[in-house]
A and B are shown apart, each in its own frame.
Chain A
Amino acid sequence: GQSLEQPSEVTAVEGAIVQINCTYQTSGFYGLSWYQQHDGGAPTFLSYNALDGLEETGRFSSFLSRSDSYGYLLLQELQMKDSASYFCAVRDRGATNKLIFGTGTLLAVQP
């Protein structure tokens, strides 16, 4: 089976850089995704790492290291609107191929 662990809460100030970690235990997966969810809103796709390394999309970057069973989401130049929950997710390589989400990290950006 799969399990993904994230810190429950992270606090940072506007303009800062924050890293949200995701560690996982899995028997096999296709890649690591990140989703953002504002309170009461829909989860929104942010990034996907199919291979090890860093993927950059504007202020957001995501990293994957399969050998370390570890990934992270890096948010730069934080803005108040970045306050939200962030979920990592892996697509199971098993029979179901389903997307399995982590427990989520609540990011609070302070002025």
Chain B
Amino acid sequence: EAGVVQSPRYKIIEKKQPVAFWCNPISGHNTLYWYRQNLGQGPELLIRYENEEAVDDSQLPKDRFSAERLKGVDSTLKIQPAELGDSAVYLCASSVNRVSENIQYFGAGTRLSVL
């Protein structure tokens, strides 16, 4: 069974440029999460989807961040424009559903460097 797939693995951009991350969750997993992980810290939730519906986006900086999960499968996270402080690893995770939310399967992440 394939795990959570994210691309790209690395991205280097200049500030004020746009950037997008893509995530393909485990087949059959209804719940999808985007996290941001700063160096030396634990992951912090940005947004959570139940199928195609965003059920928790309270931590998403909506002035510059957006996300979508069309058809309830793949998801994209976009930043426009990027700022220096956005440099971090962006992790995507999925779980079967919200009941099993304690057990999440993570992708390897996208390491973003904003110069």
Which residues of A come within 8 Å of B, CB atoms?
A: 30-31, 33, 35, 40-45, 48, 50, 87, 89, 91, 96-104
Min distance, Cβ B5 to any Cβ of chain A, angstroms: 11
Number of B residues near A (Cβ < 8 Å) is 25
B21: Cβ under 8 A from any A Cβ: no
Main SS of the interface on chain B?
loop
Q: Which residue of B lies closest to A43 (CB)?
A: B106
Min distance, Cβ A9 to any Cβ of chain B, angstroms: 10
Out of A31, A40, A50, A103, name the residue touching B42 (CB < 8 Å). Answer: A103
**CB contacts between A and B, total, < 8 Å:** 57
Main SS of the interface on chain A?
strand
Measured between beta carbons, the chain A residues less than 8 angstroms from B44 are 101
Contact check, B41 vs A42: say whether CB atoms are below 8 A apart: no
Measured between beta carbons, the chain B residues less than 8 angstroms from A98 are 45, 48, 56
Contact check, A42 vs B45: say whether CB atoms are below 8 A apart: no
19 contacts between A and B (CB under 8 A): A33-B102, A35-B106, A40-B108, A42-B3, A44-B106, A45-B103, A48-B103, A89-B42, A89-B102, A91-B102, A96-B56, A97-B56, A98-B48, A99-B33, A99-B45, A99-B101, A101-B44, A103-B41, A104-B40
B7: Cβ under 8 A from any A Cβ: no
Min distance, Cβ A84 to any Cβ of chain B, angstroms: 13
Min distance, Cβ B4 to any Cβ of chain A, angstroms: 7
Q: Roughly how many angstroms separate A51 CA and B32 CA in the complex, as a whole number?
A: 26
Q: Roughly how many angstroms separate A63 CA and B104 CA in the complex, as a whole number?
A: 19
B28-50 near A? 1/0 per residue, CB < 8 Å: 00000100000011111100100
